[in-house]
Amino acid sequence: MVYTKQAETADTYIERTTYEAGRRYRVRVATSDGMEQTIILGHASERISARLFLEEVNQVQAAIADRIEAINRRD
């Protein structure tokens, strides 16, 4: 999560960051904004829709809960 500077939009931050870092690092952005997705892909970064990102977060949370439950059953 990033808090942008005053008067800086999230889109501006995303575009600048993916342009600067997308070629050197694996950058992944969650957005459902079609124009932002196009720009992100043009900057060699990955994109995922907000809906799919939420599904992924829920799956990971469930896996963590399952793992904790398995550990607690052993003890």
- Token reading at 33: 């904004």
Q: Mind listing the pLDDT tens digit for each residue in 23-71?
A: 899 999 999 999 999 999 999 999 999 999 999 999 999 999 999 999 9
Whole-number Cα distances in Å, 75 to 27, 62, 63, 64, 70: 39, 20, 19, 17, 9
- What gap in Å lies between CA 7 and CA 10, rounded to an integer? 10
Q: Which residue type sits at 64?
A: I
SS3 labels along 40-60? HHHCCCEEECHHHHHHHHHHH
The whole-number pLDDT of residue 23 equals 83
